[in-house]
Amino acid sequence: MIEKIKNIIDADDIKLDEYLKDHTSYRIGGPAEIYVYPKNKDQLVKLIKLLKGSNYQYFVIGKGSNILVSDDGFKGCIIDLTKHFSGIRVDGEIMTVGSGALLTAIAFEAIKQSLSGFEELAGIPGTIGGAVLMNAGCYGNEISDHIVSVTVIDPQNEVKELSVDNIQFAYRKTSIKNNIVVEVKLKLKFDEQARIRNKTDEHLIKRRESQPLDLPSCGSVFKRPVNNFAGKLIEDAGLKGKIIGGAKISEKHAGFIVNFSNATSKDVREVIKLVKETVNNKFNIMLEEEVIYLG
Ligand SMILES: Cc1cc2nc3c(=O)[nH]c(=O)nc-3n(C[C@H](O)[C@H](O)[C@H](O)COP(=O)(O)OP(=O)(O)OC[C@H]3O[C@@H](n4cnc5c(N)ncnc54)[C@H](O)[C@@H]3O)c2cc1C
């Protein structure tokens, strides 16, 4: 497989046995057999065609801020779009961004251009590609609120620009789950620059005060159950501060399971299992993971 990939991807954009702990916010994860940074759409389409045709497993990674990778790693090819697909172009109130662009970079460009809409999203530590796939959001603002269109490589390996009207979004869900996001067009709104800057800063401070940002994590591990909050249920179940191996339920925010001391993927999974069982036994609510397992 590697020889065939070398015919598509430049040699300096290919790594072998690359540790995924170096590519995830959890700082957890064994090696990926092959790790590549496609340079452009053409390389990406050719690569996907090769991998699918060979039945070789692959996974598109963003900033790795919502994934828990197995300690054994991933026997397949990781496709990283953060290196060559992270451009940001601005034309009036329209921003066109490569799927590997960070939400933080987009939010800071928005401030520079006096564009409002991204203030609450600035602190989400992922890429726009990952944010579209997860329909990421916070403080009442979801990424889907700002999308005009998404350019994807669809399951038939065709590059298509999909208007937002042809994509369904719901809480942490999208209908284009099986597509690869290449580029996203966003519509923001001109406003006073100082107001945008202050609002962005306020939300970044709010996050720092309420979340354990000093320790590796994937953010909230569980989705918000209907009419409830996962963090509150976990706290009410008496699980705050619970430790298994190097993983701990954060004392600052019980919805976060932090890697406080060289946690393994197994440690985190055991904490997740404990939380689900305990919350279900106490409140008859089965929490569902927001974090995505890989490997
Ligand atoms: C401290 C902290 C705080 C967080 N706060 C929030 C929050 O407030 N709100 C929120 O919603 N989330 C939050 N998260 C979770 C996470 O940041 C978001 O889900 C983010 O959108 C994931 O983006 P990513 O680039 O890191 O994606 P990854 O974790 O790399 O991948 C997530 C999923 O997206 C897919 N994917 C990534 N890029 C592409 C692409 N180009 N095309 C197709 N599929 C792709 C991956 O295959 C995977 O299925 C937080 C995480 C941390 C660590």
Three-state DSSP class for residue 28: coil
What is the pLDDT, as a whole number, of residue 227? 93
Residue type, 149: S
Q: What pLDDT is attached to residue 132? A: 97
- Cα separation of 204 and 192, whole Å? 19
Catalytic hit among 172, 197, 235, 270: 172
Whole-number pLDDT of residue 169 = 96
Name, in order, each residue with C-beta under 8 angstroms of 138's C-beta and a sequence gap of 6 or more: 120, 121, 123, 124, 203
In this structure, the answer to whether residues 200 and 237 fall within a common structural domain is no
Give the whole-number percent of the chain exceeding pLDDT 90.
Answer: 100
Same domain, 114 and 58: no
Tell which residue, 76, 75, 9, 86, has the closest CA to residue 44. Answer: 9
Task: Quote the ligand 1 centre to 106 CA distance (angstroms).
Answer: 15
From 41, 63, 66, the mutation candidate for ligand 1 (largest count of ligand atoms within 8 A of CB) is 66
Based on the domain organization, do 73 and 103 belong to the same domain?
no
pLDDT one-digit tens code per residue, 144-203: 999 999 999 999 999 999 999 999 999 999 999 999 999 999 999 999 999 999 999 999
Residue 66's CATH number: 3.30.43.10
Q: Which amino acid, residue 8?
A: I
Packing angle of the helix pair 193-210, 103-112 (nearest 10 deg): 150
Q: Does residue 202 share a domain with residue 105?
A: yes
Which residue has tokens 């055991």? 270
Centre of ligand 1 to C-alpha 225, Å, is 19
Per residue in 107-121, pLDDT (tens digit) is 999 999 999 999 999
- 274 and 281 Cβ atoms separated by less than 8 Å: no
Instruction: Please name the residue whose Cα sits nearest to atom 12 of ligand 1.
Output: 136
Quick one: which of 203, 80, 209 has its CA closest to 137?
203
Ligand 1 mean position, distance from CA 68 (Å): 11
Ligand 1 in contact with 218 (CB < 6 A)? yes
pLDDT in the model for residue 21: 98
User: Exactly one of 119, 142, 183, 290 is catalytic; which is it?
Assistant: 290
Structural domain contains residue 283: yes
Among the atoms of ligand 1, which is closest to the Cα of residue 128? Answer: 25
Residue 224 lies in a domain: no
Considering 30, 58, 80, which residue would you say is the last residue of a domain?
Answer: 80
**CATH code of the domain containing 247:** 3.90.78.10
User: In Å, what is the CA distance from 61 to each residue of 77, 116, 220, 274, 286?
Assistant: 10, 28, 18, 28, 28
**Residue 164 belongs to what domain range?**
88-210
> Would you state the pLDDT for residue 101?
98
Mean pLDDT for 26-34 is 98
Q: Which pTM value belongs to this model?
A: 0.96
Mean of the per-residue pLDDT values of the chain? 97
For the Cβ of 117 lying below 6 angstroms from any atom of ligand 1, the answer is no
- Shared domain for 147 and 243, answered yes or no, is no
The two structure tokens encoding residue 42: 């053409």
Task: Specify the CATH number for the domain of residue 171.
Answer: 3.30.465.10
User: What confidence tens digit (pLDDT) does each residue in 194-230 have?
Assistant: 999 999 999 999 999 999 999 999 999 999 999 999 9
Closest CA to 135 of 92, 103, 89, 90: 103
Mutational pocket test of ligand 1: of 40, 69, 133, 147, the residue with most ligand atoms within 8 Å of the beta carbon: 133
Total domains in the fold of the chain: 3
pLDDT at 170: 94
